Amino acid sequence: MFKTIAAFVFTFMILAGSPAFAASMRVVVLGDSLTAGYGLPPGDAFPAQLENALRLKGRDVLVENAGVSGDTSAGGLARLDGAIAGPVKPSLVIVELGANDMLRRMPPADMKANLHKILTKLKEQQIAVLLAGVNMPLFIPGFSNSTYADVYEELADAFDVPLYESFIDGIALKPQYNLEDRMHPNAAGVKIIVENIQEDVEDILYPPTGIKGWFR
C-alpha cells in the first residue's frame, strides 16, 4: 500500500513539473535571433525573461522559445505548425519575424505574404496573436524601414490584431543594451524589451471582463 501511494505521489510530482500541467496559459514566441537569445544563456533569452516577469506578477504562464537565429518570415511559416503543436493549444503566439528579410533585402511583398499566411493559420485555430514589428537601426547603409513597417501595420489592421511597433524599441543603437555586434540585445537589453512589451502581453492574456475577439 505504501509503495502504491509513493508511486502516485512521484507521478504527480512529475506531472506537476511538466509545462503542460504547471501553467494555465501557454505562450509561444515565434521569432528569430532577437527572441531566440542569440549569444545569451537560455535563461536570459526573451521567452525566459518574459515568463519570469509574468510569474513574478502571479501570472500562471509558460512561455516557449520558438525562435531560430537567422530565420526569415518564410522560415517562421515553415516552422509554425510544429511550434504550436502539443496537447495544450497556445493562448497566445508572439510573432516577431522580418528582421532577416530586411537585412537580406527580400521584397516586402514576400515578407507580407509569409506573415499573412502565419496570421491566417493562427486565426483559423483561434489563437491570439501579438504581432511585433522590427524597425531596423538606421546605420545600415542604403536601408529604409518605411516599406517594411507598412507591412506590419497593414497586416495588423487586416487581421485586427495588436501591433507592437518595434521589438527593439528602447535598446536600438544603445551599446549598454546590446552585444558587441550592436544588433542583438544582451541580457540587460532583453530586460528592457520585456518591460516594454509585458503590458501588451498581459492585456491579451487577461483582457477586461466582457471583451472578446476572434481568438476567444
DSSP state of 85: -
CA atoms in the 13 A half-sphere facing the CB of 210: 0
Would you tell me the crossing angle of helices 146-159 and 108-124 to the nearest 10 degrees? 20
**DSSP per-residue codes, 179-209:** -TTSSSB-HHHHHHHHHHHHHHHHHHHSPPT
Alpha helices for the chain (secondary structure H) = 2-17, 19-22, 33-36, 46-56, 73-84, 99-103, 108-124, 146-159, 187-205
What distance, in Å, lies between the first and last C-alpha atoms of the chain?
A: 45
Residues with active-site annotation: 33, 181, 184
C-alpha 166: how far from chain center: 13
Nearest to 79 by CA among 92, 93, 63: 93
